[in-house]
Amino acid sequence: MKTLKQLLSGIEYKKCNVDMDICIENLTIDEQESMPNSLYFSLKGDAEKINDALNNGAVAIVCQECVIDIPYIKVTNIRKAMSHIAANFYDNAHKDLTIIGVIGTNGKTTTTHTMAAILHENRYKTAIIGTLGVDLDGELVESDLTTPDPIELHKIFAMAKAKQITHIVMEISAHAIFFEKLYNVKCDFAIFTNISQDHLDFFGDMDNYIKTKTDFFNSKNIQIAVVNADDSYGAKLIEQNKVFTLSYGLKNPSDVFAVNIDYKNARTQCVINAFDKVFELDMPILGEFNVYNVLSAITVGITMGISNEIIINALNNLPEVPGRFNILKSDITVIIDYAHTPDGLENILSAVKKLAAKGIITVFGCGGNRDKAKRPIMGEISAKYSDISIITSDNPRLENPAEIVEEIAEGHKKISNNYIKVVDRVRAINFAVRIAQKDDIILIAGKGAERYIDEKGTKRPYSDKQTVQNAIRRYRSDKVDN
């Protein structure tokens, strides 16, 4: 519980007609979750929602514009004010944590889990925040967003501090940056992975999307930047040097790089040069894109003072990340991956191509009510690498899934007609498993570890992994290795 005066500490506001000594017990942006002694943040100034919040017990409203006569605090930027007030409400717990943010189109989830593995190996109590939810040093907490909204985020920081967690590794989405979710929170380290096409339904064009991500890399938000030197936008960040920057890569000169990369028996062997310290790795991962993820985590780990021996042991025993290059085997190999962007799909398929002794069957779709421009592009990419593509539904949301499938097919047929349209995802996976020849590889892309299909306004339970396991038992054999 805090007084309003305590919550507004450090915030410039235009007007306040509320008693500053009033006690606030709850923060909310949902009028239905308002309760006695709540402070309600009106993001859009909706009069009806404000009245509902007040009727449910809110004692004051934070807003940019008020259209009715109510107890309110008027601020210039509601998003920044919410972040700052949430931090004050939860005693600014973030200031007592080492925060490592990961920014980029692809690789955020794998990078956070790789970084966390190194920290755990060094006996740091660590939390992960991202697409797979929140992991507070082994305690799992549900979260619907890659980067939670500020009220939830600062609550998580406070929970972490209470559990004596010292390090936070978190995915920072472009939407989170746009909506100022981390305003007044400074990352000790921020990893830049890459930028490629995604979320153009929201950002409108690539220029806005790129600017949102790259503008985050300044001394107000970051203490030390760790940047992919091989990404063109990463190279620009290094050149601009707005914040102290360390680099990693495989092609361009970097502080941390890998050579002699080889893939054998579903493992990656390579030699690492990290700030002129040289050591070898033998990791249970595949793909050049995963090597990049590992290099970024090594860069942070060594900069933090973690020994080579601890880093080597952590990376050589990396646990599987749910929904990221997960392998299930019978007489065929099935790979499940979250790849849902053009660059992500090309990365995963290029890695699969190096493994394929025989044919590659790719099962994938694209989400509805999202960036439509990437659909034919992903169709072309699948055509380029696959012997056959099975184009199916992903999360159609409020769109017609058959129309999405057709838009993907328009791109595929520019290169190849070796595709089949099977709108139902379960049927598509069953078909792929049934037609696969011995030693073929099936890639199932787009959903990863998601436990639902979002269609017609509802989320119904669904799992790619469970569907694959059932299909293998039905069409291949009783044995599924995973």
pLDDT at 357: 72
Task: List residues bridging with 140 in a β-sheet.
Answer: 135
The secondary element (H helix, E strand) that includes residue 301 is: helix 288-303
CA atoms within 13 A on the CB side of 55: 8
Structure tokens given for 241: 């040097």
Instruction: Provide the token pair at 358.
Output: 């025989």
Q: CB neighbours of 207 closer than 8 A, spacing ≥ 6?
A: none
Residue 482: pLDDT band by 50, 70, 90 thresholds? low
Output the six-digit token pair for 401. 């899934």
- The answer to whether 263 and 355 are in contact (CB under 8 A) is yes
Q: What is the mean pLDDT of residues 376-400?
A: 97
- Is a pLDDT exceeding 60 seen at residue 478? no
Chain centre to alpha carbon of residue 11: 30
- Identify whether the C-beta of residue 353 lies closer than 8 Å to the C-beta of residue 360: yes
216 near 129, Cβ under 8 Å?
Answer: no
Q: Which pLDDT belongs to residue 479? A: 58
The per-residue pLDDT for 144 is: 86
| Domains defined for the chain, CATH in brackets | 2-89 (3.40.1390.10), 93-316 (3.40.1190.10), 326-475 (3.90.190.20)
Give the DSSP per-residue string, 194-208.
---S--HHHHSSHHH
376 within 8 A of 389, measured Cβ to Cβ: no
pLDDT per residue over 205-259, tens digit each? 999 999 999 999 999 999 999 999 999 999 999 999 899 999 999 999 999 999 9
User: In the chain, what percentage of residues exceed pLDDT 70?
Assistant: 98
Average pLDDT on 112-136 reads 97
- 428: tokens are 């598509």
- The set of residues, in sequence order, having a beta carbon less than 8 Å from that of 458 and lying 6+ positions away, is none
Mean pLDDT of the chain, nearest integer: 95
pLDDT exceeds 60 at position 398: yes
Amino acid (one-letter) located at 53 = A
Given a cut of 80, is residue 282 above it in pLDDT? yes
Closest CA to 451 of 462, 464, 459: 462
Confidence of residue 481 (pLDDT cuts 50, 70, 90): low
Residues forming a β-bridge with 15: 74
Contact 385/344 with Cβ under 8 angstroms? no
Compute the average pLDDT of residues 379-386.
Answer: 98
